[in-house]
Chains A and B, each alone.
Chain A
Amino acid sequence: MNASFPYRTLSTIALLSSALAAAADELPRTSWGTPSLQGYYTNATIVPLERPVDLGEREFLTEEEAQARLERAMTVTETQPGTEADVHYQFDDYGMARAQNQTVFSHRSSIITSPKNGRLPPATPEALARGQEIRAWRAEHGFDSAKERSLSERCIIWAHEGPPLLPTGYNNHVQIMESKNHIVIMSEMIHDARVIPIRDSAPTAVLPPQWQGSSWGRWEGDTLVIETTGFSGRVTPTGAAAPMAVDAKVVERISRIDAETLKYEFTVNDPTLWEAPWSGDYVMQAVEGPVFEYACHEGNYGLPNNLSGARAIEAKGGKP
């Protein structure tokens, strides 16, 4: 890695970690003494979740590779009229293009850090079979009614909201609020708020399954560790073939690097989906607030419009 690369990078941060640790006393802290995580952040990044296969176990790009990736990420290209891809609005008309939003730059070759190849572990045969079953069912019945549409189209949850919380195409803002006994992590899209109790030990009460599971947190030194289980069994996480199991477990670790930067690490363990656990990390950068309310349900004209379109296709003898 060439340290002269002009952007703040994850790799640079890793190299500086010991120096940063020495400055721990200077981190913003709450009145009860823990590092303050509160604020508005973005996790928009140009780093892909999975590393390109040809990079093998190489964690960082060269400066030239990083520059090339940056240019590709910032490039807006044209679609051709009359093609399916053209049936869309322009991202840059709405300020949604990558170059129009604060983005964390990095030499990192992937968000995934374990397995060492930076890629998701192999899916289990069970997950692949379940995924095939779901796709076949959706192909046949996906437009039957509103209930058969995806959770995101129904404004219920998007997979990137996690846990683990991952970057997505746009609206990558996150608000963190904290008190001594709770922390709230709210993602801009679809505006879900995870209310996480801070405890000394794992709760014994078994709660009903939740879209984002049931979480509890504890401080390990200056790092907030959050454990989550009790998922709904209906949300297919990013990169998975099928929904995450109810008893899957996600561990997140959030630490403050400096006044404007948080490090977010995570490990996903769902033996029904993947042959092995997988881990990753990225940096969240402070942004100016507020995070605007997403209010997805209220304006979700697209859901009935899609069904109406499907009925029109069927009326012409087609299959949506």
Chain B
Amino acid sequence: MILRLISCAALGLALSTTAHAHHAFSAEFDVESPVEFTGKVTKVELINPHSWIHLAVTKEDGTTENWMIEGGSPNSLFRQGVTKNSIPIGSELKVFGYQARDGATRAVGRTIHFIDGTPLFFGGSAPPNSSGAPER
């Protein structure tokens, strides 16, 4: 399981200013409630301040639960050519995350992969057309 975040040390150096997230995730989601499941995409909201992906998750008893998975700001994705169509409706995703404290079927998407193991967007490496080349 790949779990990545810019390290605090790197943030302090790299971001040069306050680098807080838009809101406190640990207030919204419960570290004591990790969740892991697969589901089919029913809706993609690439919106600010955070993206949301809606999934239909089939439970063991055959019933379906609708989950909302929270992710990052999509603006950098847009710059790399990603659109909401990059995740086709009906795609099967595997999610590891933490469930909402209020018990709703919402979770922060700590790691999200397509069912074949492909990372959701760029996962773990710079996108091919990254403009982060140091010569700039």
Contact = CB atoms under 8 A, between A and B. Distances in A.
Interface in B107-125: 108-112, 119-125
Contacts of B45: 299
A63 B104 CA distance: 51
Nearest to B121: A93
A259 B14 CA distance: 26
A159 interface: yes
B6 A98 contact: yes
B7 A49 contact: no
A45 B10 CA distance: 12
Nearest to B15: A169
A79 B73 contact: no
Contacts of A80: 3
B75 interface: yes
B76 A76 contact: no
Contacts of A312: 101-103
B14 A168 contact: no
Contacts of A204: none
Instruction: Describe B's contact surface by its main secondary structure.
Output: loop
Given A308-B102, A309-B102, A73 B72 contact: no
Given A72-B10, A94-B72, A306-B27, A169 B19 contact: yes
Interface string B17-35: 1111111111111110010
Interface string A46-81: 111100000000000000000001101111111111
A238 B17 contact: yes
A73 B17 contact: no
Interface residues of B, number: 79
Contacts, number: 264
Interface in A279-310: 285, 287-288, 292, 294-296, 298-303, 305-306, 308-310
Given A79-B3, A89-B109, 8 more contacts: A74-B14, A75-B6, A79-B5, A93-B71, A100-B76, A153-B22, A288-B79, A309-B27
A81 B108 CA distance: 13
Contacts of A308: 28, 100-102, 104
Contact of A8 (B104, B131, B136): B136
B119 A87 contact: no
15 contacts: A72-B9, A91-B72, A92-B122, A93-B122, A94-B121, A94-B122, A95-B79, A100-B132, A166-B17, A170-B73, A287-B131, A299-B48, A300-B49, A305-B28, A306-B27
Interface residues of A, number: 85
B73 A94 contact: yes
A7 B122 contact: no
Contacts of A294: 48-49, 75
B43 interface: no
Interface of A: 6-8, 45-49, 69-70, 72-105, 111, 143, 149, 152-153, 155, 159-160, 166-171, 173, 188-189, 238-239, 285, 287-288, 292, 294-296, 298-303, 305-306, 308-313, 320
A189 B76 CA distance: 12
A85 B5 contact: yes
A95 B77 contact: yes
A119 to B, nearest CB: 13
A77 B13 contact: no
B88 interface: no
